[in-house]
């Protein structure tokens, strides 16, 4: 097995989770933008057709400068399980706009869903459909909501596959748990000898936060483009939602999504429909790297999901 040489940032809720990072430590107080990779394309012989940077005209993006490079992309998972504790709307940013050390504040938020024990959902099993969650006790006040907040558990369970067409080395590669994430630097692997996908778990309570291994990375930011354009931010936290800047005792992930278009609640609003989008984003596929002349999928990571809200 050609082990990955890179620290992976676990993708996180709200468009979040399998981003590739260098080993540079995060600044203590600043939000730092994470890389954006392309959505996987079908009918590819292997993963060699990569582009510099984030050229979306190519089916894969470079994730390293090795020869051949590690390359990766996002695809749609078959399973994407998370536990949701809270979901809400806010009239201003619950995070400090410049300092990631400052704790999340819900003073401008209305929680539209709360579950003390958490509600487990499979986002991939409910593609493009609304998900039934506990209802809010009160109606959100009329107003303009610019941010959406989500509190989830400290891990994500994912499974899926990716198919390449190389006659000799290609096939359908299915996910499975890594036997030793500290060695493979990944929580999941791809294996074409399997007949179906197996769940693997991305755990944020790993001493590294949003990284699989290595130094603590407690905060995450990514600019989302396309249909659900906006800005995603998140931190690892304890059960009281206090940010864990040292990545210890993590039991919650707190994420905030700021869409480019705000949501209006008026007297004519009867309800909200919430969907979570994982299509073309929920599973991160990586292949290539030194010694791998076949450029087939090797490592699996969690990918993004984005919440969408519609009024009716």
17-76 residue pLDDT tens: 222 222 333 444 578 776 667 889 999 999 988 887 778 788 998 878 888 888 999 899
pLDDT at site 131: 59
Ramachandran category for residue 255: left, alpha or beta (phi over 0 → left; psi -120 to 50 → alpha): beta
> What span, in angstroms and rounded, lies between the C-alpha atoms of 6 and 4?
6
263: tokens are: 């949501």
Query: What is the model's pTM?
Result: 0.83
Residue with tokens 């009160």: 138
Q: What SS3 class is residue 12?
A: coil
Indicate the pLDDT class of residue 163, thresholds 50, 70 and 90: very high
Q: What SS3 class is residue 26?
A: coil
Residue 179 has pLDDT above 60, yes or no: yes
Confirm if 257 and 147 have CB atoms less than 8 A apart: yes
Over residues 108-121, the mean pLDDT reads 91
> What span, in angstroms and rounded, lies between the C-alpha atoms of 167 and 136?
54
Q: Cα Rg for the chain, rounded, in angstroms?
A: 19
> What span, in angstroms and rounded, lies between the C-alpha atoms of 20 and 6?
7
Question: What is the C-alpha end-to-end distance of the chain, expressed in Å?
Answer: 51
CA angle, 133 then 120 then 200, to 5°: 145
120: tokens are: 């487990």
257: tokens are: 């999504």
> What span, in angstroms and rounded, lies between the C-alpha atoms of 256 and 238?
16
Confirm if 178 and 4 have CB atoms less than 8 A apart: no
Span 190-234, pLDDT tens digits: 999 999 999 999 999 989 998 877 889 999 887 877 777 888 899
- Residues β-bridged to residue 299: 189, 286
């Amino acid at each position: 097995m050609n082990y990955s040489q890179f620290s992976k940032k676990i993708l996180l809720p709200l468009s979040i989770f399998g981003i590739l990072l260098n080993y540079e430590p995060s600044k203590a107080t600043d939000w730092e933008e994470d890389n954006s990779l392309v959505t996987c394309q079908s009918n590819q012989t292997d993963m060699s057709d990569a582009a510099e940077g984030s050229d979306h005209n190519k089916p894969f993006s470079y994730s390293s400068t090795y020869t051949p490079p590690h390359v990766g992309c996002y695809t749609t998972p078959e399973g994407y399980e998370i536990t949701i504790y809270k979901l809400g709307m806010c009239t201003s940013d619950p995070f400090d706009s410049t300092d990631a050390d400052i704790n999340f504040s819900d003073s401008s938020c209305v929680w539209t869903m709360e579950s003390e024990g958490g509600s487990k959902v499979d986002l991939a099993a409910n593609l493009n459909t609304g998900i039934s969650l506990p209802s809010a006790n009160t109606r959100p006040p009329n107003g303009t909501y610019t941010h959406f907040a989500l509190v989830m558990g400290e891990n994500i369970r994912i499974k899926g596959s990716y198919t390449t067409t190389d006659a000799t080395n290609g096939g359908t590669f299915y996910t499975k748990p890594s036997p030793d994430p500290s060695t493979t630097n990944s929580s999941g692997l791809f294996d074409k000898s399997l007949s179906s996908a197996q769940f693997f778990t991305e755990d944020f309570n790993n001493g590294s936060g949003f990284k699989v291994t290595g130094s603590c990375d407690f905060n995450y930011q990514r600019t989302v483009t396309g249909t659900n354009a906006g800005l995603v931010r998140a931190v690892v936290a304890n059960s009281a939602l206090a940010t864990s800047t040292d990545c210890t005792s993590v039991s919650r992930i707190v994420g905030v999504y700021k869409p480019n278009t705000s949501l209006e609640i008026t007297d004519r609003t009867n309800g909200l429909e919430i969907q979570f989008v994982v299509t073309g984003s929920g599973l991160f596929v990586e292949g290539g790297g030194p010694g791998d002349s076949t450029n087939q999928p090797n490592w699996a990571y969690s990918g993004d999901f984005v919440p969408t809200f519609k009024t009716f």
